[in-house]
Amino acid sequence: MSSVPERSEIDEQYTWDLESIYATDDDWEEAYETVSERIEDLQSYEGRVTEDAGTLLEVFERYEEIMREVEMVSAYARMRRDEDTTDQHYQALTARAQSLSADAQSAASFIEPELQELTREEFDEMVDEAPDLETYDHYVDDVLRMKPHTRSAEVEELLADLGEVTGATGEVYTLLSNADMAFPTVEGPDSEAPRASDESSGDEPRDGEGVEITQSNFTNLLKRPDREFRRRVYEEYFDEWESMRNTVATAYKNSVKADVKLAQARNYDTAREAALDGPNVPVDVYDTLVDTVHDNLDKLHRHADLKREALEVDELRMWDLYMPLTGDGGPDLEYDQAAEYVVEALEPLGEEYQSRVAEGLESRWVDVYENEGKQSGAYSGGTYDTQPFILMNYQDDVASMYTLAHELGHSMHSELTTEEQPYVYSSYEIFVAEVASTVNEALLTNHLLETVDDPEFKQHVLNEFLERVRSTLYRQTLFAEFEHEAHRLEEEGEPLTADRLDDLYRGLKADYYEPAAIDDRIAREWMRIPHFYRAFYVYQYATGISAALAITDRIFEEGETAAEDYLEFLRQGSREYPLELLRVAGVDMSTSDPIDRALETYGDRLDEMDDLLG
């Protein structure tokens, strides 16, 4: 039986270099103790934040020093835990780091309420007295903007103290899905030859052999050519979720309830309004996305019909959705080759950008392969004072290559922001972050279609583009509808039971995938989506890919000028609000134009694939 390797079996060159943060756990402990003591320093400023310009500048600088240290302590613990989520030692370090972060936020909770006692004119006068305060101009503007939704210092401190509690459901879900749930082993297909990636990924079945389902390899297994094998994987996987349905439904219900209560505590009418107001994104942007996607569901339906025809089946089933239009899982693609393709694809962004990505890959930014207990999925992490870090579960396929390009986009966004901006503007919003990642994907698609000679490989690249739009623009919008409706039901007092959540999700899936057969198991798919524990987050993937495709088109049409505009956008961090930042790159997300353009490109690519398959 194939199995996932232990952490110790992974070659060091394919692991991230967390020792660059703290060489040992003892060094982490020392840093933890030091910053724990420093947190108390903040409290000496309570009641004095705005007494004069010098004190205000001191408060800003002291807060930043402490939070930079807290973030390093937290990042190290979290990433060590993610290497093996069953490791009790790093679970404990992560819990301590989370408590430390909550303590720091609580200790600083008086700062913004006191800042809001200022008028804009008074702050401008302080800038005249202490010119270094000019750095904080946009930050102060943002704080003053939030005054109607900021409570007294006492309430803010209480809300900060409760942060660990209100976020507990997400932590419970993470441990349940990654550490405690044991997915079954299914019988492998009888007729498939083993692939070269069997040894490295541990998820590909050999003839007549069983394969262990994991969170990381589930969708990859649904790309296997043997339809009966896909059905077995699909059914066994979702049956395991069914055994946890009441636990997961309770966790999600309480996560939604926390979102609603916190929004009410801050004088918002809805949880969605509260979530979008943080980055200053109008709710209309969310609604425009949903409406525009619904107006273009016919393209998704066409994609489903093409898939049914390519698979030569009478009815498309839910275990068929991840199958490529090319009819199989695609060519094996080792990590080193994928990394080379990605670096080459970034040439339109200039030699400096390209070479820095190459250097990062050599400097162990990436934790490449899946291992036993590792956090599923992929992300880009790190802090203002560290190199970027990327967690992956690379599966030796084209999709994993695109994931690498995606996460490198995030990492380079952080690198350019850190170089250009002070700490206060280093934490850019997700709304713009997903643009950087998806521009890299779009550049990769264009590069491969133009330079690779193998027609079969080109078909798989084109298929990957179509799947990325399907899963990023359409699927994430479906998720956005689901969580919006779930929060609306909670706000109107309707119980969020497992049955009600199943019914809600089933109805959306039926709308989006009208040509396919909807079964009871797919109604449980909402249970496997970790992003739902960060409310109103996923819609930004859909807006991000829309903006990214528009930016990429402009780069190819206008060349160096457009590329420099895009790089300037990356360097800005959170110096401006998201919609204003995107205008620097030539995109206006207050309209439906970028979404329409992305969906038009999707339709054109469907035509191209239809011709190739014809």
SS (H, E, C) 386-445: CCCEEEEEECCCHHHHHHHHHHHHHHHHHHHHHHHCCHHHCCCCHHHHHHHHHHHHHHHH
Ranges of residues in the chain whose predicted pLDDT is under 70? 1-2, 190-208, 328-329
What's the pLDDT score for residue 454? 86
| Spatial distance between the Cα atoms of 240 and 225, rounded to a whole number of angstroms | 23
What's the pLDDT score for residue 163? 77
Query: Which residue in the list 407, 464, 483, 490 is annotated as catalytic?
Result: 407
* Entry pTM: 0.83
What's the pLDDT score for residue 513? 96
Q: For residue 44, count other CB atoms closer than 10 A to its CB.
A: 10
Per DSSP, the three-state class of 210 is strand
Token reading at 211: 């394969």
| Spatial distance between the Cα atoms of 126 and 134, rounded to a whole number of angstroms | 9
Domains of the chain from N-terminus onward: 9-166 (1.20.140.70), 185-242 (no CATH), 255-331+429-614 (1.10.1370.20)
One-letter amino acid of 62? R
Residue 273 catalytic? no
Q: How far is CA 230 from CA 183, 234, 516, in A?
A: 15, 6, 16
What's the pLDDT score for residue 201? 40
CB contact at 8 A, 537 and 430: yes
DSSP H or E stretch at residue 367: strand 366-369
What's the pLDDT score for residue 158? 83
| Spatial distance between the Cα atoms of 193 and 287, rounded to a whole number of angstroms | 47
